[in-house]
C-alpha cells in the first residue's frame, strides 16, 4: 500500500521537496528555540500563548470536521461521500499530528512532555485534551486503515469496525469541546468565559474543515485523475454555508452580550480587537479583514448558482478558511490576553522564527497528508483499471 507513495510524477516530487524544505527550515529554527528557549518568539509575560497554540486550536477544528463526512456516510448512508470519506479521515489524521506538534513546540521543557502521562491529573482540562486527541488519532488510523484496506481488497469492511466508527462521531465533537474548555473554564480571562465558546468552535470548525476539504478535492481533480464527484462537493458546499452562518450568528451573540451589557472587563477585549485600545491597534485590520471576508464568503456562497461553479466555490472556500484562520487562529487567543488580568496592554505579534517553526509543522502535516492521499488515489486507480 505505502509503496504507492514512492512512485510519482515530477510535480509530486516537486511538492514533496517543497514540503521537505519547509520542514528543514522549521526544524532548524526549532533547534535554535530548543537551545535558547522561547525567547525567540513574540510571546511575553502578558501574552503567554500565541501563534503555536492558536494554530493548535484552529487545527483541532479541522480534525473534528471529518465527522461531517463520517456521519452522513455511515449513519445516513449518504453514498455520495463514499469516495471522499477516507480523504476526510486522512485530513483528520494529519491535522491531529499537527495539533500535537504545535503543543509540543510551545513547551518550555519539551523533554518532560511525558509528565502529562506519568502524573495524570483529571482536574486539568489539558490532560483531557491530550487524552481525547490521542484517542481521536488512534480511532482515525484504525478506521481508515480497516475500511480502506477492505475497499482495496474488494470486500465489505468487518462488522467490528462499525461500532468504532460510530464512537468516532461523538469523539470528534469531544476534541473540539474539550479544546474550547481549555479556554472557557478560566475565571481569570473574561473574554473566553462564555458558554458559547465550544459551540462556536464547532460551528467555525464545520465551516473551515469542509472548506479545506473542498479545496483539496478541487486540487486533486485538477492535478490528478481523481474526481470526488460534484454531488459530494456540492453537499459539502451547503454544509459550509450553514456552518458559517451559525458561526456568524454565534459571534454576533457574543458581541451583543459583551457590548450591550457594557461590562468593561468583557467589552475591552472586543474593543481591543476591533477598534484598538490606547493606540494599540495591531489586530484591528486583521479582525476587520476576517469579518468582512467571512461575510462576503457567506453572501457569495449562499447563492446555489455561484456554488455550482467550481471556480467560485473554490474562491468562496478560500475566503472561509482565511476568515476563520484569522478569527480563531489569531484573534481568539491573542484577544483574551489584551488587556491583561492587570489591565496592561502588551501586544503580540509572532516573530519570523516562530512563523518558520509553525510552517515547518504545517509542512509535516501536509507531507503526511500528501503521502496518504497518494496511497489512496494510487490504490483507487488500480481498482478501476
User: Would you tell me which residues interact with other proteins (CB under 8 A)?
Assistant: 36-39, 43-46, 48-49, 103, 106-110, 112-113, 115-116, 118-119, 121-128, 130, 182, 185-189, 340-344, 346
Q: Are 346 and 46 in contact (CB under 8 A)?
A: yes
Minimal distance in Å, beta carbon 118 to other proteins? 8
Minimal distance in Å, beta carbon 176 to other proteins? 16
User: For other proteins, which is the closer residue by CB, 3 or 77?
Assistant: 3
User: For other proteins, which is the closer residue by CB, 154 or 187?
Assistant: 187
Minimal distance in Å, beta carbon 356 to other proteins? 18
Residue 199 buriedness (CB in 10 A; 0-12 / 13-18 / 19+): middle
Minimal distance in Å, beta carbon 43 to other proteins? 7
- Cell numbers found for residue 185: 473554564
Q: Are 169 and 71 in contact (CB under 8 A)?
A: yes
Minimal distance in Å, beta carbon 170 to other proteins? 13
User: For other proteins, which is the closer residue by CB, 20 or 355?
Assistant: 355
Minimal distance in Å, beta carbon 128 to other proteins? 8
Q: Which residues pair with 280 in a beta bridge?
A: 277
Minimal distance in Å, beta carbon 328 to other proteins? 17
User: For other proteins, which is the closer residue by CB, 74 or 191?
Assistant: 191
User: For other proteins, which is the closer residue by CB, 345 or 359?
Assistant: 345
Q: Are 116 and 125 in contact (CB under 8 A)?
A: no
Q: Which residue has the cell 474543515?
A: 209
Q: Are 136 and 171 in contact (CB under 8 A)?
A: yes
DSSP secondary structure, 126-149, as one string: HHHHHHHHHHHHHHHHHHHHHHHH
How far is the C-alpha of 172 from the C-alpha of 174, rounded, in Å?
5
How far is the C-alpha of 208 from the C-alpha of 238, rounded, in Å?
13
User: For other proteins, which is the closer residue by CB, 110 or 252?
Assistant: 110
User: For other proteins, which is the closer residue by CB, 78 or 127?
Assistant: 127
How far is the C-alpha of 291 from the C-alpha of 135, rounded, in Å?
34
Residue 379 buriedness (CB in 10 A; 0-12 / 13-18 / 19+): middle
CA torsion angle 52 53 56 57 (round to 10): -140
Amino acid at each position: 500500500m505505502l509503496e504507492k507513495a514512492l512512485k510519482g510524477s515530477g510535480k509530486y516530487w516537486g511538492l514533496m521537496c517543497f514540503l521537505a524544505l519547509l520542514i528543514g527550515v522549521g526544524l532548524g529554527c526549532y533547534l535554535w528555540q530548543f537551545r535558547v528557549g522561547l525567547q525567540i518568539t513574540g510571546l511575553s509575560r502578558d501574552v503567554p500563548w500565541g501563534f503555536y497554540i492558536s494554530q493548535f486550536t484552529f487545527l483541532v477544528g479541522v480534525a473534528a470536521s471529518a465527522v461531517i463526512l463520517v456521519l452522513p456516510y455511515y449513519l445516513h448512508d449518504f453514498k455520495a461521500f463514499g469516495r471522499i470519506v477516507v480523504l476526510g479521515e486522512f485530513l483528520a489524521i494529519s491535522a491531529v499530528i499537527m495539533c500535537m506538534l504545535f503543543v509540543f513546540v510551545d513547551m518550555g521543557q519539551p523533554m518532560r512532555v511525558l509528565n502529562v502521562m506519568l502524573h495524570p491529573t483529571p482536574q486539568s482540562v489539558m490532560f483531557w485534551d491530550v487524552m481525547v486527541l490521542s484517542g481521536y488519532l488512534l480511532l482515525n488510523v484504525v478506521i481508515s486503515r480497516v475500511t480502506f484496506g477492505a475497499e482495496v481488497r474488494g470486500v465489505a469492511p468487518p462488522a467490528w469496525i462499525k461500532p468504532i466508527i460510530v464512537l468516532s462521531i461523538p469523539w470528534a465533537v469531544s476534541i473540539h469541546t474539550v479544546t474550547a474548555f481549555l479556554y472557557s473554564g478560566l475565571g481569570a480571562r473574561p473574554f473566553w468565559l462564555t458558554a458559547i465558546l465550544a459551540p462556536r468552535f464547532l460551528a467555525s470548525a464545520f465551516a473551515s474543515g469542509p472548506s479545506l476539504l473542498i479545496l483539496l478535492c478541487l486540487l486533486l481533480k485538477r492535478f490528478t485523475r481523481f474526481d470526488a464527484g460534484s454531488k459530494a462537493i456540492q453537499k459539502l458546499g451547503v454544509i459550509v454555508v450553514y456552518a458559517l452562518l451559525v458561526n456568524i450568528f454565534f459571534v454576533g451573540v457574543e458581541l451583543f452580550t459583551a457590548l450591550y451589557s457594557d461590562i468593561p472587563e468583557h467589552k475591552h477585549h472586543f474593543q481591543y480587537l476591533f477598534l484598538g485600545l490606547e493606540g494599540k491597534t495591531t489586530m484591528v485590520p486583521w479582525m476587520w479583514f476576517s469579518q468582512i471576508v467571512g461575510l462576503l464568503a457567506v453572501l457569495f456562497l449562499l447563492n446555489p448558482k455561484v456554488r455550482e461553479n467550481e471556480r467560485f466555490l473554490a474562491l468562496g472556500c478560500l475566503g472561509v478558511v482565511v476568515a476563520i484562520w484569522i478569527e480563531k487562529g489569531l484573534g481568539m487567543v491573542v484577544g483574551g490576553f489584551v488587556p491583561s488580568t492587570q489591565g496592561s496592554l502588551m501586544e503580540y505579534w509572532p516573530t519570523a522564527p516562530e512563523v518558520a517553526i509553525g510552517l515547518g509543522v504545517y509542512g509535516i502535516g501536509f507531507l503526511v497528508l500528501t503521502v496518504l492521499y497518494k496511497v489512496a488515489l494510487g490504490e483507487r486507480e488500480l481498482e478501476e483499471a
